[in-house]
Amino acid sequence: MALEEQDFLYVSKMVREESAIVLEKGKEYLVESRLSPLAQQDGYASIKEMVQKLRETGELVLKLKIVDALTTNETSFFRDLKPFEMLQKELLPELIEKRKDQKRLEIWCAAASTGQEIYTICMTIRENFPWLRDWNVRILGTDINQEVLDKARRGVYSQIEVNRGLPATMLIKYFEKSGIDWKIKDDLKSMTEFRKMNLIKPWGSVGRPDVIFMRNVLIYFDTDTKKEILGKVRNIMQPDGFLFLGAAETTLNLDENYVRRTYDRGGCYTLKGKDAK
Ligand SMILES: C[S@@+](CC[C@H](N)C(=O)[O-])C[C@H]1O[C@@H](n2cnc3c(N)ncnc32)[C@H](O)[C@@H]1O
């Protein structure tokens, strides 16, 4: 199912327009390996035939399937560990003190993928701040990819998935067996809300988050898109809120309105001049 150059160019242009994901020359192999199973599954003789269908009909469902197939959904529980330690040891204690009158906290996981990140946040809260049960805590997970969101919403993970990063004590406490898999208990699930959202389209209601996890997604976008998204984050985040990016991502040279706050060898971002500590 080899991919011809003109089809690669057509697909990469479409994917960039729809999702901002940049697929530069040299990514032909990635596109081929992701689209080949999709073409087979949908009964096309080749990727070429599938792309031809898209060219002729512009069919939205097919377009979305191709975009979804070209998102990278790599994630795991407690990924990189430090952000969750920082959240637990520094950020949540500060926010809880500041918000103690309103008793309200909002957290937005802006590229939630299959949900491991958002449930890690939930476990961090339940484990260390059990009294937040009495607060109005909104934890929103969004992603462009409907399939991964559906999985996040179901909250069912394989043994291999829970083996990656999840301490055994947490597994026992917050999951229950579901056949050969593990299912997040309803108590944690009830803290969450999931919605399909494309970061390059209007955001709709994401509220005014106190903490935003936007990790390992800007890395797929070009500089202008990163700048635009970081600008939009500034407009919606609480003035004294916190933004987490992925370990390989930064606001540096993109948006000078953010200040890095370090923690161990990691850190997050706050808004310049607005940290009302
Ligand atoms: C590598 S995963 C990151 C998951 C999680 N944040 C983490 O760090 O473990 C990147 C996610 O970004 C999503 N994504 C890619 N482009 C997007 C867009 N334009 N809008 C919203 N989500 C997008 C993908 O579907 C994918 O699930």
**CA of 75, closest atom in ligand 1:** 9
- What is the pLDDT, as a whole number, of residue 1? 53
Task: Provide the number of structural domains found in the chain.
Answer: 2
Q: CA dist 168 to 78, 80, 155, 159, Å?
A: 13, 17, 17, 11
Q: What is the pTM of this model?
A: 0.96
- What one-character-per-residue DSSP string does 124-192 give? HHHHH-GGGGGSEEEEEEEES-HHHHHHHHHTEE-HHHHHTT--HHHHHHHEEEETTEEEE-HHHHTTE
Model pLDDT, residue 148: 97
User: What region does 3 belong to: left with phi over 0, alpha with psi -120 to 50, or beta?
Assistant: beta
27 is a domain residue: yes
Do residues 174 and 185 touch, judged by C-beta distance below 8 A?
yes
Ligand 1 close to Cβ of residue 215 (< 6 A): yes
In a shared domain, residues 28 and 134: no
Q: What 3-state DSSP class applies to 37?
A: helix
Mutational test site, ligand 1, from 121, 143, 196, max ligand atoms within 8 Å of CB: 143
Backbone phi, then psi, for 205, in 5-degree steps?
-95, 100
Q: Which domain holds residue 11?
A: 5-69
Q: For 223-271, what is each residue's pLDDT tens digit?
A: 999 999 999 999 999 999 999 999 999 999 999 999 999 999 889 999 9
Same domain, 131 and 90: yes
Residue 275 phi/psi, 5° resolution?
Answer: -75, 100
Identify whether residues 131 and 177 lie together within a single domain.
yes
Question: How confident is the model at residue 175, as a pLDDT?
Answer: 98
Question: How far is the centre of ligand 1, averaged over its atoms, from the C-alpha of 87 (Å)?
Answer: 21
Q: What is the CATH number of the domain that holds 40?
A: 1.10.155
Provide the pLDDT for residue 162.
97
169 and 37: one domain?
no
Asked whether residue 277 is assigned to any structural domain, the reply reads no
pLDDT at 145 over 80: yes
For residue 156 and ligand 1, the question of a CB distance below 6 A is answered with no
Ligand 1 pocket member 73 (CB < 6 A) = yes
* Best of 68, 146, 197, 217 for a ligand 1 pocket test (most atoms within 8 Å of beta carbon): 217
Q: Is the CB of 199 under 6 A from ligand 1?
A: yes
- pLDDT at residue 277, rounded to an integer: 42
pLDDT, tens only, 166-223: 999 999 999 999 999 999 999 999 999 999 999 999 998 899 999 999 999 999 999 9
Q: For residue 227, tell me if it sits in a domain.
A: yes
For residues 208 and 89, membership in a common domain is answered with: yes
88: tokens are 């637990």
Q: Which of 69, 100, 120 is the last residue of a domain?
A: 69
Which is the closest atom of ligand 1 to the Cα of 197? 21
